[in-house]
C-alpha cells in the first residue's frame, strides 16, 4: 500500500489533459445516468426480447465501423476539438429520441437514435482517444489512467442507486432529461481548448485492407473479440439481473453500484503493474478470470452471489482494460 501511495503521489497532469478529462468526466456522468438502465429500457420497449437488444447493439457497431474511415477524414479539415464539440449535441439528441420514444412509431425513433448516436461516435471517440494518447505520459500512463478511471468509478458507484430510485417512482423520463442537460454541459471544458489537427492518409478501402492485413490479424481479432464480449455482456448480464430480482429498479441500481466499488483499489494496483512492464501478465490473468467468471455467473441466485461474481469478473476486466487501453494509446501516440 505504501508503495502505491508513493508511486501515485508524484503523478502530474498537464492543464490541457485536465480540461479534456473534465469533459470526459461530465459526459461519463451523463451517460452513466442511463448505463445498464438503457439496456433495460430497450428490453422493455422490444417486448422483453434479448435478441432485438443484441441486434441493435451490433447494428450500431457495424454502421460505426463502416463509416469510421469517412469520419477520420475530418481530422485535418476540422480539427479534434471542434469535432468533439460538434459531437456532444448529437449524444444529447440520441437521449432525446429515447425521451420521446413511442412504440406506435418505433422504427422512426430507433432510426433517429441510431443516426444521432453514430454521428456522436464518429466525431468524438477517435479525436478523444488520440488527444488522450498524446497528452498522457508514456512512463506513467497506467497510473494516470488508473487515477482518472477511479474518479469515474466513484460516480459509477453512486449514480445507479439514484437512477434506480428515480425510475422506480417517476419512470425513465426524468433520467433522460437530466442526462441531456449533463451531456450538453460537458461541452464547456472543450470551449477553451486550442484546435489540434491530424491527417488521416488512408483511403476508405485502404483502411479496411490495413485492418484485415495478415500482420494486423491478431490485433484485429483481439479488438473484435473484446468488443463482442463487451456488447453481449452489456446486454445479457444486466437483463438477467433485472429479471432475477423481480424487475425491481431500486435493487438493480444498488447491485450495479456495489459491483463497481471493488474496482477502485484494484485499478490502482493494476495501473502500477502496467507501468512497470507487466502487461503480458495482466492479459494472462484477465483471460483466465474473464472466461471462468461466466461459469460462475451461471449459478448466481442472491444479491451477495451477484456481487461476488461481478467482483471476480471485474478483477479480470480491470486487468484487461488497463493493458488494452495502454497498448492502444501507445499505438495512437505514435
Every domain of the chain and the residues it spans = 13-333
Using only C-alpha atoms, the chain has a radius of gyration, in whole angstroms, of 20
Class of domain 13-333: mainly alpha
Given this model, what pLDDT does residue 323 score?
57
Given this model, what pLDDT does residue 3 score?
47
pLDDT mean values, one per 10 residues, the chain (334 residues): 53 82 94 92 92 91 89 84 95 96 89 97 90 74 75 86 93 96 96 83 75 71 70 78 82 78 61 55 64 70 72 66 57 52
d(CA 57, CA 38): 12
Given this model, what pLDDT does residue 117 score?
97
- Contacts for 117 with CB less than 8 Å, ≥ 6 apart: 60, 90, 91, 94
Q: Residues 36, 162: contact at Cβ < 8 Å?
A: no
HEC letters along the chain: CHHHHHHHHCCCCCHHHHHHHHHHHHHHHHHHCCHHHHHHHHHHHCCCCHHHHHHHHHHHHHHHHHHHHHHHCHHHHCCHHHHHHHHHHHHHHHHHHHHCCCHHHHHHHHHHHHHHHHHHHHHHHHHHHHHHHHHCCCCCHHHHHHHHHHHHHHHHHHHHHHHHHHHHHHCCHHHHHHHHHHHHHCCHHHCCCCCCCCCCCCCHHHHHHHHCCHHHHHHHHHHHHHHHHHHHHHHHHHHHHHHHCCCCHHHHHHHHHHHHHCHHHHHHHHHHHHHCCCHHHHHHHHHHHHHHHHHHHCCCCCHHHHHHHHHHHHHHHHHHHHHHHHHHHHHHHC
pTM: 0.82
d(CA 101, CA 103): 7
Given this model, what pLDDT does residue 221 score?
72
Given this model, what pLDDT does residue 167 score?
95
The residue assigned the cell 471544458 is 189
Which of 262, 261, 265 lies closest to 8, judged by CA? Answer: 265
Amino acid at each position: 500500500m505504501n508503495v502505491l501511495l508513493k508511486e501515485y503521489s508524484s503523478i502530474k497532469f498537464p492543464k490541457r489533459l485536465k480540461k479534456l478529462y473534465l469533459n470526459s468526466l461530465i459526459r461519463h456522468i451523463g451517460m452513466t445516468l442511463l448505463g445498464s438502465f438503457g439496456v433495460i429500457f430497450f428490453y422493455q420497449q422490444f417486448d422483453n426480447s434479448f435478441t432485438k437488444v443484441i441486434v441493435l447493439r451490433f447494428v450500431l457497431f457495424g454502421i460505426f465501423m463502416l463509416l469510421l474511415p469517412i469520419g477520420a477524414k475530418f481530422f485535418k479539415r476540422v480539427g479534434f476539438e471542434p469535432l468533439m464539440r460538434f459531437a456532444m449535441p448529437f449524444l444529447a439528441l440520441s437521449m432525446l429520441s429515447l425521451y420521446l420514444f413511442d412504440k406506435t412509431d418505433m422504427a422512426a425513433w430507433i432510426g433517429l437514435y441510431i443516426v444521432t448516436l453514430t454521428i456522436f461516435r464518429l466525431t468524438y471517440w477517435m479525436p478523444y482517444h488520440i488527444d488522450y494518447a498524446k497528452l498522457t505520459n508514456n512512463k506513467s500512463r497506467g497510473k494516470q489512467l488508473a487515477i482518472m478511471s477511479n474518479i469515474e468509478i466513484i460516480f459509477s458507484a453512486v449514480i445507479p442507486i439514484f437512477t434506480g430510485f428515480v425510475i422506480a417512482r417517476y419512470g425513465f423520463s426524468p433520467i433522460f432529461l437530466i442526462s441531456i442537460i449533463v451531456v450538453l454541459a460537458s461541452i464547456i471544458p472543450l470551449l477553451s481548448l486550442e484546435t489540434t489537427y491530424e491527417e488521416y492518409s488512408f483511403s476508405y478501402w485502404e483502411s479496411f485492407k490495413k485492418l484485415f492485413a495478415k500482420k494486423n490479424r491478431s490485433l484485429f481479432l483481439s479488438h473484435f473479440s473484446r468488443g463482442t464480449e463487451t456488447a453481449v455482456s452489456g446486454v445479457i448480464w444486466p437483463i438477467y439481473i433485472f429479471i432475477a430480482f423481480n424487475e425491481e429498479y431500486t435493487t438493480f441500481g444498488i447491485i450495479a453500484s456495489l459491483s463497481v466499488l471493488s474496482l477502485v483499489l484494484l485499478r490502482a494496483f493494476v495501473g502500477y503493474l502496467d507501468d512497470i512492464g507487466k502487461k503480458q501478465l495482466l492479459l494472462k490473468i484477465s483471460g483466465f478470470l474473464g472466461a471462468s467468471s461466466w461459469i460462475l455467473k451461471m449459478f448466481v441466485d442472491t444479491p451477495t452471489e451477484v456481487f461476488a461474481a461481478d467482483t471476480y469478473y471485474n478483477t479480470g476486466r480491470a486487468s484487461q482494460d488497463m493493458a488494452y487501453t495502454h497498448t492502444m494509446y501507445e499505438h495512437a501516440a505514435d
